[in-house]
Every structure is written in C-alpha cells, then in structure tokens.
Structure 1
C-alpha cells in the first residue's frame, strides 16, 4: 500500500469524523503511522465537517494536509471546496446520491457510489460513510477488512456493536460496487 493522505468531507451528522477515526484506528492495527485531524463548524449537525486522515509507513510530519491522494465527499459544497486539493493521479470518491456534479478535474480518477440511497435501502442511513470507505479500501488496500471490523469494535460504543454485522455488509457493498 502506498501512503494515503485522505480528506473526508460532508455535512455534520453524516459520520465523517467517525469514519475517519475508524479508518485511522484500522491503519494503526496495520502497524502504520496514522494521523486523524477533525474539523467542523460550530453548528456541527447540518454544518460542514471534514477530517484529514494520513496512513503511512513513514513518520508523519504534520496532520494538516495541503494536498491529498484521496478525497471522499458526501455533499456538493465539499467537492467545491476540496477538489483542488487532490493530487494529479489521485482519487475522488463521491456519494452520487448527494453530489450531483462531476468533478471538473480530468487528471484524477472519479468514483461515484450511491452511498446514501443504498444505506437507506439497508435500513440505516448512517451506513453511507461505511459504504464509501468500502470503495476506498477496494481501490487502495489501505487496510484489511478484518482490521476494519476490529476498528469498528474498538471505536464504536458497545451499545452499537449490534450494528457491526450490518456495517460490514455496507463495507462489502462499497468494496464490490462497480462505478
């Protein structure tokens, strides 16, 4: 796996920060150096939220990203704000249920996954972020599915552990989705 500098962005309440934390924890389980830096507006739910996740074999000098290998976006304003941060040859994964426009960039690979629509069909809209992480894992092999599941157990409150089998189905959907 090559080092990954990931920006995840969307509205507060979409689980952006939680998804980043789970991914960073899974990276730790892979014996990688990791950084997770959350950022959110004062209104949280409904406001903007994003996080930087770095997973690397090398020492991480700063948790702040000036560019990213991957951008995961769950709303249009986040694509507008962060599209330019993606390095040439990088990846943009967008929730095609909520992000209508296509990125203007032609030097990046774009994958649209109907994450929110699928999560609603699965009975839990909070799974949308996990679906998008599934696509990321399939494209980059950033972490193993097994370590992702362990990270879910370690980062989610125990009262939500009953959701983990369904979350793993959501992850698998994202991994298998053909764009």
Structure 2
C-alpha cells in the first residue's frame, strides 16, 4: 500500500494540520511516511498545500507527481490539482466552498459539504477533519484511532478537550462516503 495525497486549500483551513496528522498516524502504525508543506507568500488566507505519502515501503521522494488522492478544500485548489490525480485515483472536494464539478471522468470523485457539517457540529474550524474522515473511510490508509492520537500531538495537550468534536467530524465525513 502506498497512498500519495495532495491536500490543498487556503491558509487557515487546517490543510497542514491534517497532513501532519496523517503523517504522525502513519508513523504510529509503523509505516513509512513523508510530509512536504508548501505555502503561498501571504501570512493568512493564501494558498497552502502539502504532499503526504504513507506507505508500507520506503518513500524515495516527498514530491508527488501523480497523486492517488487529492483533497481540494477550495476552488483554486481544485483547479490546480485535479489534473494531478492519477487515472482511477480519488478526488475529494469540499462542496461547501466549491460549486464546480470535476472535469475528469477517469477518476472517482466525492463531494463533501465539509464546512456545512462543521457548522452543524458547532465548530467551523473542523471542516478539515470532515474531509479527513471521508478520506480515511475511502482509503483505510490509517485508522481513526491513530489519527486521534496524532491530533493530540498536533494540537497539544492544552487542546485535548477538542478530541471528541474532532472524532465526531471524522465520523460525519466517513458517513458522507458510505
């Protein structure tokens, strides 16, 4: 198993956080991992994306030229990265912010109303976790439990009280693709 994921959106959407969580979860499960962040020049609200590789085999390079999955959290990310998904790969689109449909018909596409679900749960900041929940359900790359352990590492102990709502967001994302 080798999952090559591009996660993209704008700064403040938690793109880097879910990339880190996937990476930490992979390490927890004794998998080979790589995380390569990329930021736009803006302090906040600019472009942000990261390449994450989780594999049962050694990762030769952190650069992804053909993604198994792209998670697009905003329209510019869909426009830029849809073409990076390999044939028969997976595209997960945040349909709360992106009305446009995917142009390709040789990939699997799932539209997740991540922001809408996050607001329903009471915290708009967990839309990224809804997207991650859909990804985990579709790919089984790592377990939800490993991600929740990684969440504690990424957020820190002072925010451990946010684990339950993040677990719920992961579950809601998974329900969207079942």
Scaled to the shorter chain, the TM-score interval is over 0.9
Question: CA contact under 8 A between 2:21 and 2:151: conserved in structure 1?
Answer: yes
Relative to the length of structure 2, the TM-score reads 0.97
Following TM superposition, the consecutive aligned residue runs of length 4 or more in structure 1 with deviations greater than 3 angstroms are: none
Distance in 2 of aligned mates of 1:142 and 1:87: 17
**What number of residue pairs does the alignment pair up?**
178
Is the partner of 2:12 in helix, strand or coil?
A: coil
Corresponding residue number in structure 1 for 2:94: 95
Question: CA contact under 8 A between 2:134 and 2:177: conserved in structure 1?
Answer: no
2:156 equivalent to 1:170? no
Deviations 1:9-62 (A, max 9, x none): 001000000110011101111110000011011214210000000001111111
Corresponding residue number in structure 1 for 2:122: 123
Question: CA contact under 8 A between 2:39 and 2:46: conserved in structure 1?
Answer: yes
Q: Structure 2: state its 5+ residue gaps.
A: none
Distance in 1 of aligned mates of 2:99 and 2:39: 23
2:80 equivalent to 1:81? yes
CA-based RMSD of the aligned residues comes to 1.0
Corresponding residue number in structure 2 for 1:146: 145
Distance in 2 of aligned mates of 1:66 and 1:141: 22
Relative to the length of structure 1, the TM-score reads 0.97
Corresponding residue number in structure 2 for 1:137: 136
Is the partner of 2:104 in helix, strand or coil?
A: coil
Question: CA contact under 8 A between 2:91 and 2:108: conserved in structure 1?
Answer: yes
- The alpha-carbon deviation at position 178 of structure 1 amounts to 3.8
Distance in 1 of aligned mates of 2:60 and 2:115: 34
Question: CA contact under 8 A between 2:137 and 2:177: conserved in structure 1?
Answer: no
